[in-house]
Structure 1
Protein backbone atom coordinates (compact mmCIF):
# COMPACT_ATOMS: atom_id res chain seq x y z
CA UNK A 1 0.00 0.00 0.00
CA UNK A 2 1.38 3.39 -1.01
CA UNK A 3 1.07 6.21 1.54
CA UNK A 4 0.45 9.67 0.16
CA UNK A 5 2.51 12.50 1.71
CA UNK A 6 0.56 14.73 4.05
CA UNK A 7 -0.47 18.10 2.70
CA UNK A 8 1.36 20.88 4.55
CA UNK A 9 -0.83 23.05 6.75
CA UNK A 10 -0.45 26.83 6.65
CA UNK A 11 -1.34 29.27 9.44
CA UNK A 12 -1.05 33.04 9.17
CA UNK A 13 -0.61 34.83 12.48
CA UNK A 14 0.89 37.99 13.97
CA UNK A 15 3.28 36.44 16.50
CA UNK A 16 4.51 33.22 18.07
CA UNK A 17 4.66 32.60 21.80
CA UNK A 18 7.04 29.75 22.66
CA UNK A 19 7.28 27.71 25.81
CA UNK A 20 10.91 27.12 26.81
CA UNK A 21 11.58 23.79 28.57
CA UNK A 22 10.59 20.86 26.38
CA UNK A 23 9.75 23.09 23.42
CA UNK A 24 12.83 25.13 22.52
CA UNK A 25 15.25 23.32 24.81
CA UNK A 26 15.52 19.87 26.33
CA UNK A 27 16.21 20.13 30.05
CA UNK A 28 14.34 16.97 31.03
CA UNK A 29 17.29 15.11 32.57
CA UNK A 30 18.47 18.13 34.58
CA UNK A 31 14.94 18.91 35.76
CA UNK A 32 14.25 15.36 36.87
CA UNK A 33 17.60 15.14 38.68
CA UNK A 34 16.90 18.36 40.56
CA UNK A 35 13.40 17.32 41.61
CA UNK A 36 14.55 13.85 42.63
CA UNK A 37 17.17 15.42 44.91
CA UNK A 38 14.59 17.91 46.15
CA UNK A 39 12.18 15.14 47.11
CA UNK A 40 14.90 13.30 48.99
CA UNK A 41 16.07 16.40 50.88
CA UNK A 42 12.51 17.37 51.74
CA UNK A 43 11.90 13.89 53.16
CA UNK A 44 9.15 13.00 50.69
CA UNK A 45 9.20 9.22 50.39
CA UNK A 46 8.31 8.07 46.89
CA UNK A 47 8.19 11.57 45.41
CA UNK A 48 8.17 11.38 41.61
CA UNK A 49 8.36 14.38 39.26
CA UNK A 50 5.77 14.19 36.48
CA UNK A 51 4.41 17.75 36.24
CA UNK A 52 6.09 19.07 33.10
CA UNK A 53 4.89 22.57 32.25
CA UNK A 54 3.67 23.37 35.77
CA UNK A 55 5.52 26.20 37.59
CA UNK A 56 7.82 25.03 40.38
CA UNK A 57 6.03 27.11 42.99
CA UNK A 58 2.73 25.40 42.18
CA UNK A 59 4.29 21.93 42.43
CA UNK A 60 5.95 22.84 45.74
CA UNK A 61 2.61 23.99 47.15
CA UNK A 62 0.99 20.73 46.04
CA UNK A 63 3.69 18.63 47.69
CA UNK A 64 4.51 20.10 51.11
CA UNK A 65 2.65 21.76 53.94
CA UNK A 66 2.28 25.58 53.88
CA UNK A 67 4.84 26.14 56.64
CA UNK A 68 7.53 24.66 54.35
CA UNK A 69 6.58 26.40 51.09
CA UNK A 70 9.27 29.08 51.15
CA UNK A 71 12.03 26.72 52.26
CA UNK A 72 11.04 24.16 49.62
CA UNK A 73 10.80 26.70 46.81
CA UNK A 74 14.23 28.16 47.59
CA UNK A 75 15.71 24.66 47.58
CA UNK A 76 14.36 23.67 44.15
CA UNK A 77 15.48 27.01 42.70
CA UNK A 78 18.99 26.39 44.02
CA UNK A 79 19.11 22.81 42.74
CA UNK A 80 17.89 23.70 39.26
CA UNK A 81 20.23 26.67 38.88
CA UNK A 82 23.20 24.47 39.77
CA UNK A 83 22.47 21.72 37.23
CA UNK A 84 22.53 22.46 33.48
CA UNK A 85 24.31 19.26 32.40
CA UNK A 86 22.78 17.96 29.18
CA UNK A 87 20.59 21.03 28.50
CA UNK A 88 20.45 21.40 24.70
CA UNK A 89 18.38 23.03 21.96
CA UNK A 90 15.53 20.98 20.56
CA UNK A 91 15.71 19.89 16.94
CA UNK A 92 14.70 22.69 14.58
CA UNK A 93 14.60 25.39 17.26
CA UNK A 94 17.61 27.42 16.09
CA UNK A 95 16.50 27.47 12.46
CA UNK A 96 12.94 28.43 13.30
CA UNK A 97 13.90 31.26 15.66
CA UNK A 98 16.43 32.62 13.16
CA UNK A 99 13.66 32.90 10.56
CA UNK A 100 11.52 35.15 12.76
CA UNK A 101 11.83 38.93 13.18
CA UNK A 102 12.36 39.88 16.83
CA UNK A 103 9.08 41.78 17.02
CA UNK A 104 7.12 38.63 16.12
CA UNK A 105 8.04 36.18 18.87
CA UNK A 106 8.89 35.76 22.50
CA UNK A 107 9.21 33.09 25.17
CA UNK A 108 6.59 32.42 27.84
CA UNK A 109 8.33 30.12 30.32
CA UNK A 110 7.09 28.20 33.35
CA UNK A 111 10.39 28.69 35.19
CA UNK A 112 11.84 31.77 36.88
CA UNK A 113 13.79 34.39 34.95
CA UNK A 114 17.09 33.34 36.54
CA UNK A 115 16.57 29.70 35.62
CA UNK A 116 15.45 30.59 32.09
CA UNK A 117 18.63 32.64 31.62
CA UNK A 118 20.88 29.82 32.87
CA UNK A 119 19.22 27.19 30.69
CA UNK A 120 19.10 29.35 27.55
CA UNK A 121 22.79 30.12 27.96
CA UNK A 122 23.55 26.41 28.30
CA UNK A 123 21.54 25.66 25.15
CA UNK A 124 22.86 28.61 23.14
CA UNK A 125 19.60 30.57 22.83
CA UNK A 126 19.58 34.34 23.24
CA UNK A 127 16.83 35.85 25.37
CA UNK A 128 14.17 37.59 23.28
CA UNK A 129 12.62 40.94 24.08
CA UNK A 130 9.47 40.85 26.23
CA UNK A 131 10.06 37.37 27.67
CA UNK A 132 7.59 36.23 30.34
CA UNK A 133 8.66 34.00 33.24
CA UNK A 134 6.85 32.42 36.16
CA UNK A 135 8.01 35.06 38.64
CA UNK A 136 6.37 37.80 36.57
CA UNK A 137 2.79 36.53 36.79
CA UNK A 138 0.38 36.00 39.65
CA UNK A 139 -1.01 32.77 38.18
CA UNK A 140 1.09 30.34 36.14
CA UNK A 141 0.14 27.79 33.50
CA UNK A 142 -2.48 26.34 33.01
CA UNK A 143 -3.95 29.78 33.84
CA UNK A 144 -4.17 32.04 30.74
CA UNK A 145 -2.27 34.95 32.35
CA UNK A 146 1.25 34.06 31.09
CA UNK A 147 0.30 33.99 27.42
CA UNK A 148 -1.99 37.00 27.72
CA UNK A 149 0.97 38.92 29.16
CA UNK A 150 3.25 37.71 26.38
CA UNK A 151 0.86 38.92 23.68
CA UNK A 152 0.38 42.22 25.48
CA UNK A 153 4.14 42.81 25.66
CA UNK A 154 4.44 42.20 21.92
CA UNK A 155 1.50 44.52 21.29
CA UNK A 156 -0.56 41.89 19.46
CA UNK A 157 -4.00 40.35 19.86
CA UNK A 158 -3.73 36.95 21.58
CA UNK A 159 -6.27 35.62 19.09
CA UNK A 160 -3.72 36.29 16.34
CA UNK A 161 -0.92 34.42 18.15
CA UNK A 162 0.35 30.86 17.81
CA UNK A 163 1.26 29.30 21.16
CA UNK A 164 3.92 26.60 20.73
CA UNK A 165 4.00 24.16 23.65
CA UNK A 166 4.98 20.63 24.60
CA UNK A 167 2.94 20.13 27.79
CA UNK A 168 -0.79 19.78 28.50
CA UNK A 169 -0.69 22.57 31.12
CA UNK A 170 0.88 25.00 28.66
CA UNK A 171 -1.54 24.12 25.89
CA UNK A 172 -4.45 24.61 28.29
CA UNK A 173 -3.00 28.03 29.17
CA UNK A 174 -2.73 29.06 25.53
CA UNK A 175 -6.13 27.71 24.63
CA UNK A 176 -7.88 29.46 27.52
CA UNK A 177 -6.08 32.70 26.63
CA UNK A 178 -7.64 32.51 23.16
CA UNK A 179 -4.58 31.66 21.05
CA UNK A 180 -4.19 29.11 18.29
CA UNK A 181 -2.14 26.24 19.76
CA UNK A 182 0.62 24.09 18.28
CA UNK A 183 1.74 21.05 20.28
CA UNK A 184 5.24 19.62 19.87
CA UNK A 185 5.23 15.93 20.74
CA UNK A 186 8.09 14.51 22.77
CA UNK A 187 7.56 15.27 26.44
CA UNK A 188 4.06 13.85 25.91
CA UNK A 189 2.76 11.70 23.07
CA UNK A 190 0.68 13.32 20.35
CA UNK A 191 -2.45 11.55 21.62
CA UNK A 192 -2.02 13.19 25.05
CA UNK A 193 -1.90 16.72 23.63
CA UNK A 194 -5.15 18.64 23.14
CA UNK A 195 -4.20 21.20 20.52
CA UNK A 196 -5.31 22.82 17.28
CA UNK A 197 -2.21 21.42 15.57
CA UNK A 198 0.45 18.84 16.46
CA UNK A 199 3.95 18.25 15.05
CA UNK A 200 6.63 15.74 15.86
CA UNK A 201 9.33 18.38 16.28
CA UNK A 202 10.14 22.00 15.45
CA UNK A 203 11.95 20.66 12.39
CA UNK A 204 8.44 20.24 10.96
CA UNK A 205 7.72 23.97 11.33
CA UNK A 206 8.75 26.73 8.91
CA UNK A 207 8.01 30.44 9.18
CA UNK A 208 8.15 33.22 6.60
CA UNK A 209 7.58 36.94 7.37
CA UNK A 210 5.01 38.47 5.01
CA UNK A 211 5.15 41.99 3.54
CA UNK A 212 2.21 43.09 5.72
CA UNK A 213 4.09 42.16 8.92
CA UNK A 214 2.28 38.90 9.57
CA UNK A 215 3.99 35.51 9.77
CA UNK A 216 3.11 32.55 7.57
CA UNK A 217 3.75 29.30 9.41
CA UNK A 218 3.84 26.01 7.51
CA UNK A 219 3.54 22.67 9.30
CA UNK A 220 4.88 19.60 7.57
Structure 2
Protein backbone atom coordinates (compact mmCIF):
# COMPACT_ATOMS: atom_id res chain seq x y z
CA UNK A 1 0.00 0.00 0.00
CA UNK A 2 1.00 3.62 -0.44
CA UNK A 3 0.03 6.29 2.07
CA UNK A 4 0.45 10.04 2.11
CA UNK A 5 0.79 10.39 5.89
CA UNK A 6 1.62 8.24 8.92
CA UNK A 7 -0.13 8.87 12.23
CA UNK A 8 1.53 7.38 15.31
CA UNK A 9 0.18 6.63 18.73
CA UNK A 10 2.88 7.27 21.39
CA UNK A 11 2.73 5.14 24.55
CA UNK A 12 3.26 1.50 23.72
CA UNK A 13 3.90 2.31 20.07
CA UNK A 14 6.96 4.56 19.93
CA UNK A 15 7.82 4.61 23.62
CA UNK A 16 7.72 2.09 26.45
CA UNK A 17 6.00 3.85 29.36
CA UNK A 18 4.26 0.91 31.04
CA UNK A 19 6.51 0.93 34.12
CA UNK A 20 6.06 4.69 34.45
CA UNK A 21 2.28 4.48 34.23
CA UNK A 22 2.18 1.68 36.77
CA UNK A 23 4.38 3.64 39.20
CA UNK A 24 2.29 6.80 38.85
CA UNK A 25 -0.95 4.96 39.55
CA UNK A 26 0.60 3.13 42.52
CA UNK A 27 1.72 6.47 43.98
CA UNK A 28 -1.72 7.92 43.34
CA UNK A 29 -3.35 4.94 45.05
CA UNK A 30 -1.07 5.26 48.09
CA UNK A 31 -2.22 8.85 48.61
CA UNK A 32 -5.80 7.60 48.93
CA UNK A 33 -5.04 4.45 50.89
CA UNK A 34 -6.02 2.21 48.00
CA UNK A 35 -4.37 -0.93 46.66
CA UNK A 36 -1.99 0.00 43.84
CA UNK A 37 -2.42 -3.18 41.82
CA UNK A 38 -6.20 -2.96 41.97
CA UNK A 39 -6.23 0.70 40.98
CA UNK A 40 -3.82 0.12 38.09
CA UNK A 41 -5.94 -2.77 36.80
CA UNK A 42 -8.96 -0.47 36.66
CA UNK A 43 -6.95 2.39 35.12
CA UNK A 44 -5.88 0.16 32.23
CA UNK A 45 -9.52 -0.31 31.22
CA UNK A 46 -11.05 3.10 31.88
CA UNK A 47 -10.51 6.82 31.57
CA UNK A 48 -9.19 8.57 34.71
CA UNK A 49 -12.55 10.03 35.73
CA UNK A 50 -14.09 6.56 35.54
CA UNK A 51 -11.17 5.11 37.49
CA UNK A 52 -11.66 7.66 40.27
CA UNK A 53 -15.36 6.82 40.52
CA UNK A 54 -14.60 3.11 40.77
CA UNK A 55 -11.68 3.14 43.22
CA UNK A 56 -12.20 6.36 45.20
CA UNK A 57 -15.96 6.94 45.34
CA UNK A 58 -16.88 10.03 47.24
CA UNK A 59 -13.59 11.76 46.47
CA UNK A 60 -13.59 15.03 44.54
CA UNK A 61 -12.78 13.99 40.94
CA UNK A 62 -11.10 17.32 40.25
CA UNK A 63 -8.80 16.78 43.22
CA UNK A 64 -8.09 13.23 42.06
CA UNK A 65 -7.24 14.44 38.57
CA UNK A 66 -5.03 17.26 39.83
CA UNK A 67 -2.99 14.77 41.86
CA UNK A 68 -2.71 12.39 38.91
CA UNK A 69 -1.52 15.19 36.64
CA UNK A 70 1.02 16.36 39.22
CA UNK A 71 2.42 12.84 39.55
CA UNK A 72 2.56 12.41 35.77
CA UNK A 73 4.36 15.73 35.31
CA UNK A 74 6.88 14.78 37.99
CA UNK A 75 7.45 11.46 36.27
CA UNK A 76 8.20 13.23 32.97
CA UNK A 77 10.84 15.28 34.76
CA UNK A 78 12.45 12.49 36.78
CA UNK A 79 11.31 9.11 35.46
CA UNK A 80 13.30 6.79 33.23
CA UNK A 81 11.98 6.44 29.68
CA UNK A 82 13.00 4.36 26.70
CA UNK A 83 12.02 4.56 23.05
CA UNK A 84 11.43 1.26 21.32
CA UNK A 85 14.25 -0.04 19.15
CA UNK A 86 14.21 1.63 15.76
CA UNK A 87 11.93 4.52 16.76
CA UNK A 88 14.48 7.31 16.29
CA UNK A 89 15.75 5.93 12.99
CA UNK A 90 12.21 5.49 11.68
CA UNK A 91 11.01 8.98 12.58
CA UNK A 92 14.16 10.60 11.23
CA UNK A 93 13.62 8.77 7.94
CA UNK A 94 10.16 10.29 7.46
CA UNK A 95 9.53 13.76 5.99
CA UNK A 96 8.65 15.95 8.98
CA UNK A 97 5.46 17.22 7.32
CA UNK A 98 4.12 13.74 6.58
CA UNK A 99 3.77 12.25 10.02
CA UNK A 100 2.07 13.26 13.25
CA UNK A 101 1.41 12.04 16.77
CA UNK A 102 -2.12 11.21 17.95
CA UNK A 103 -2.05 10.57 21.67
CA UNK A 104 -4.38 10.32 24.66
CA UNK A 105 -1.68 12.03 26.71
CA UNK A 106 -0.93 15.77 26.82
CA UNK A 107 1.44 17.54 24.46
CA UNK A 108 3.76 18.97 27.12
CA UNK A 109 4.37 15.48 28.52
CA UNK A 110 4.97 14.02 25.08
CA UNK A 111 7.46 16.76 24.30
CA UNK A 112 9.22 16.18 27.61
CA UNK A 113 9.51 12.45 26.96
CA UNK A 114 10.70 12.96 23.40
CA UNK A 115 13.36 15.42 24.53
CA UNK A 116 14.63 12.97 27.14
CA UNK A 117 14.81 10.07 24.69
CA UNK A 118 16.12 12.03 21.71
CA UNK A 119 13.17 11.32 19.44
CA UNK A 120 12.47 13.95 16.75
CA UNK A 121 9.28 15.97 17.01
CA UNK A 122 6.74 16.23 14.19
CA UNK A 123 4.98 19.39 13.13
CA UNK A 124 1.66 18.21 14.57
CA UNK A 125 0.55 16.60 17.84
CA UNK A 126 -3.12 15.87 18.46
CA UNK A 127 -3.38 15.35 22.22
CA UNK A 128 -6.08 14.89 24.86
CA UNK A 129 -6.65 18.64 25.06
CA UNK A 130 -7.23 18.89 21.31
CA UNK A 131 -10.46 16.89 21.21
CA UNK A 132 -13.70 16.50 23.12
CA UNK A 133 -13.78 12.77 22.37
CA UNK A 134 -10.76 10.53 22.76
CA UNK A 135 -10.00 7.09 21.37
CA UNK A 136 -11.82 4.84 20.46
CA UNK A 137 -13.77 7.71 18.87
CA UNK A 138 -12.48 8.51 15.36
CA UNK A 139 -12.28 12.20 16.28
CA UNK A 140 -8.54 12.33 17.18
CA UNK A 141 -7.39 10.70 13.94
CA UNK A 142 -9.87 12.65 11.82
CA UNK A 143 -8.61 15.89 13.36
CA UNK A 144 -5.02 14.94 12.55
CA UNK A 145 -5.95 14.25 8.94
CA UNK A 146 -7.82 17.55 8.70
CA UNK A 147 -4.91 19.55 10.09
CA UNK A 148 -2.50 17.83 7.71
CA UNK A 149 -4.79 18.40 4.74
CA UNK A 150 -5.00 14.66 4.17
CA UNK A 151 -7.76 12.36 3.01
CA UNK A 152 -8.34 9.82 5.80
CA UNK A 153 -8.10 7.06 3.21
CA UNK A 154 -4.51 8.13 2.55
CA UNK A 155 -3.44 7.85 6.19
CA UNK A 156 -1.65 4.94 7.84
CA UNK A 157 -2.22 4.59 11.59
CA UNK A 158 0.40 2.86 13.77
CA UNK A 159 -1.09 1.62 17.05
CA UNK A 160 -0.62 -0.89 19.84
CA UNK A 161 -3.93 -0.76 21.71
CA UNK A 162 -7.45 -1.95 20.84
CA UNK A 163 -9.01 1.48 21.47
CA UNK A 164 -6.54 3.11 19.09
CA UNK A 165 -7.19 0.47 16.45
CA UNK A 166 -10.93 1.12 16.69
CA UNK A 167 -10.31 4.85 16.46
CA UNK A 168 -8.24 4.58 13.29
CA UNK A 169 -10.62 2.14 11.63
CA UNK A 170 -13.64 4.32 12.46
CA UNK A 171 -11.80 7.22 10.83
CA UNK A 172 -11.55 5.22 7.60
CA UNK A 173 -7.79 4.75 7.78
CA UNK A 174 -5.45 1.81 7.30
CA UNK A 175 -4.30 0.53 10.71
CA UNK A 176 -1.18 -1.48 11.51
CA UNK A 177 -0.39 -2.76 14.99
CA UNK A 178 3.09 -3.05 16.51
CA UNK A 179 4.64 -4.46 19.68
CA UNK A 180 2.00 -7.14 20.03
CA UNK A 181 2.12 -10.86 19.30
CA UNK A 182 -1.25 -10.94 17.56
CA UNK A 183 -3.19 -8.22 15.73
CA UNK A 184 -6.11 -6.57 17.43
CA UNK A 185 -9.48 -7.13 15.71
CA UNK A 186 -9.75 -5.16 12.49
CA UNK A 187 -6.07 -4.23 12.13
CA UNK A 188 -4.89 -4.61 8.56
CA UNK A 189 -1.41 -5.83 9.49
CA UNK A 190 0.54 -6.70 12.63
CA UNK A 191 4.24 -6.60 13.55
CA UNK A 192 5.69 -8.00 16.75
CA UNK A 193 7.97 -4.98 17.11
CA UNK A 194 8.26 -1.42 15.87
CA UNK A 195 11.69 -2.24 14.43
CA UNK A 196 10.13 -5.02 12.33
CA UNK A 197 7.49 -2.61 11.04
CA UNK A 198 9.86 0.30 10.35
CA UNK A 199 10.98 -0.54 6.78
CA UNK A 200 7.39 -1.27 5.77
CA UNK A 201 6.25 2.08 7.19
CA UNK A 202 8.95 3.90 5.22
CA UNK A 203 8.00 2.00 2.08
CA UNK A 204 4.37 2.97 2.58
CA UNK A 205 5.30 6.61 2.01
CA UNK A 206 7.19 5.95 -1.22
TM-score in same-fold range (> 0.5):
yes
Superposition deviation, residue 153 in structure 1: 1.1
For 1:165 and 1:34, the matched residues in 2 are separated by 23
Q: Matched residue of 2:2: which SS?
A: strand
Q: 146, 171, 182: which is aligned to 1:190? A: 182
Q: 146, 150, 166: which is aligned to 1:156? A: 150
Partner residue, 1:129: 123
Partner residue, 2:27: 37
Q: Which ranges of structure 1 fall in alignment gaps of 5 or more residues?
A: 1-10
Partner residue, 2:12: 22
1:25-62 superposed Cα distances (whole Å, 9 cap, x missing partner): 11111111001111222343432246559654564466
Superposition deviation, residue 125 in structure 1: 1.7
Q: Greater share of strand residues, 1 or 2?
A: 1
Partner residue, 1:76: 68
Question: Would you say the 8 A contact 2:28–2:67 is kept in 1?
Answer: yes
Question: Would you say the 8 A contact 2:177–2:184 is kept in 1?
Answer: no
Change (3 A) 1:96 1:12: same
Structure 2 residue 111 is matched with structure 1 residue 117: yes
Provide TM-score, normalisation by structure 2: 0.86
For 1:152 and 1:66, the matched residues in 2 are separated by 40
Q: Matched residue of 1:91: which SS?
A: coil
Instruction: Indicate the larger mover: 101-110 or 57-66.
Output: 57-66
For 1:199 and 1:34, the matched residues in 2 are separated by 29
Superposition deviation, residue 114 in structure 1: 1.9
Structure 2 residue 101 is matched with structure 1 residue 107: yes
Alignment of 1:42-57 (within 5 A): 42-45=32-35, 46-49=38-41, 51=43, 56=48
Change (3 A) 1:117 1:60: farther
For 1:62 and 1:149, the matched residues in 2 are separated by 31
Q: Which ranges of structure 2 fall in alignment gaps of 5 or more residues?
A: none
Equivalent residue pairs, number: 200
For 1:59 and 1:158, the matched residues in 2 are separated by 32
Superposition deviation, residue 105 in structure 1: 0.3
Question: Would you say the 8 A contact 2:14–2:87 is kept in 1?
Answer: yes
1:165-185 superposed Cα distances (whole Å, 9 cap, x missing partner): 111111111111111001012
